[in-house]
Amino acid sequence: MAMKSLPEMGGSKSTSATSAEAEVFSLSASVAEMEAMAKKLRRHIVTMIGKAGSGHPGGSLSAVEILTALYFKLMRHKPQDPQWPDRDRFILSKGHAAPLLYAVLAECGYFPVEELATLRQMDSRLQGHTDRTITPGVEMSSGSLGQGLSFALGAALAGRIDEQGYRVYVLLGDGECNEGQVWEAAMATSHYNVDNLTAVVDNNGQQIDGWNCDVMGLDPFAGKWQAFGWKVIEVDGHSIPRLLEAFKEAQKVKGQPTVIIAHTVKGKGVSFMENNPDFHGTAPNTMELELALKELE
């Protein structure tokens, strides 16, 4: 299905505006249109990583629907005013999935889509891992795993203290949950009864060296979060309707944080990348890119 341009989808996209003038990004997009956007984002991901000759396709492709639901439906944000104080915050803790975040930000209008072709080049604003000091819309510099939930907790507590109504979303990898800092932050988040924060785990079952169960098993994963005082919602992480329901359910939970365990497939959408640890951090070559784009038509 051909994707409509953002204005056709009902999205706000102005060229330049002051903080007060900039519009809140909103889309009256249907699920079908968001699914088409997800496919477009996958094309961006493989294309930019292929052009750069390095990067992380697997864990970018697995989280596409999660970010599509957030940025194109749920979050309140202003692409023309990335620092808008009332914006909902999205923290990419698994910073190696930067190509996915860049594709989403570009499609929302934070910077031109053409800039995606500069991924990982010298002086580009789009480096291999996120840098909040150079890329519009990036909230946290990440890449060193394990830190995003702590950062998100700080942002959520600040919002509560300042009586601002924004929500904080943070995306973690399941392999990343081998990091002790994740569980320190999990403990603190429930200790402070933080309910304006939703964590999402991209539960694709793999990490850099293969399957989590072979490297450092996480089971019982839901039980661990529950034991740390979290409300747990498990969902098919490639179903936009199920993700939207889960995020809305999380918004209603009071007095405790919520984690959405999103069951996903690493490399989703490209057959030879799916569940293939070789494509954790390897770019497709010219022939593989051609094949991938054919599958994503």
Ligand X SMILES: Cc1ncc(C[n+]2csc(CCOP(=O)(O)OP(=O)(O)O)c2C)c(N)n1
Sole binder of ligand X in the list 65, 81, 176, 288 (CB under 6 A):
176
148 binds ligand X (CB under 6 A): no
> How many angstroms separate the CA atoms of 221 and 272, rounded?
28
C-alpha distances in Å from residue 214, one per residue of 205, 208, 211, 267: 10, 11, 6, 19
Minimum CB distance to ligand X smaller for 249 or for 274? 274
Nearer CB in complex with ligand X: 77/263: 263
In the range 270-289, which residues lie near ligand X by CB under 6 A?
280
- Give the tokens for residue 125: 């604003």
Q: How far is the CB of 142 from ligand X (least distance, A)?
A: 9
Q: Give the binding-site size for ligand X (rule: CB under 6 A).
A: 20
Q: Which is nearer to ligand X, 44 or 87 (CB)?
A: 44
Q: Which amino acid is at 261?
A: I
Q: How far is CA 220 from the centre of its chain?
A: 24
Among 14, 54, 144, 271, binds ligand X (CB under 6 A): 144
Mask 223-262, x = binds ligand X (CB under 6 A)? ----------------------------------------
Of 97, 196, 101, 114, the residue nearest 154 (C-alpha)? 196
Total number of residues shown for the chain: 297
> Judged by CB, which is closer to ligand X: 17, or 208?
208
Question: In this chain, which stretch among 32-40, 205-213, 224-232, 283-291 interacts with ligand X, using CB under 6 A?
Answer: 205-213
What gap in Å lies between CA 91 and CA 108, rounded to an integer?
16
Residues 5-64 that bind ligand X (CB under 6 A): 58-59, 62
CA angle at residue 57 from 88 to 185, to 5 degrees? 45
Q: What gap in Å lies between CA 212 and CA 197, rounded to an integer?
A: 26
Cis peptide before 220 (omega within 30 of 0): yes
Whichever of 115 and 236 has its CB closer to ligand X, that residue is 236
CB of 151 to ligand X, least distance (A): 14
Binding residue (CB under 6 A) for ligand X from 242, 263, 266, 268: 266
Asked whether the beta carbons of 217 and 275 are under 8 A apart, the reply is no
Footprint of ligand X on 71-100 (CB under 6 A): 94, 96
Closest to ligand X by CB, 208 or 232:
208
Give whichever of 74 and 92 is closer to ligand X, judged by the CB atom: 92
Among 50, 146, 159, 257, the residue binding ligand X under the rule CB under 6 A is 146
Collapsing DSSP to helix, strand or coil, 23 comes out as coil
Pair of tokens at residue 200 = 């999402």
Residue for token pair 């098993």: 217
Angle between helices 31-52 and 98-108 (to 10 degrees): 120
Q: Which spans of this chain sit near ligand X (rule: CB under 6 A)?
A: 58-59, 62, 94, 96, 143-146, 173-176, 202, 204, 206-208, 266, 280
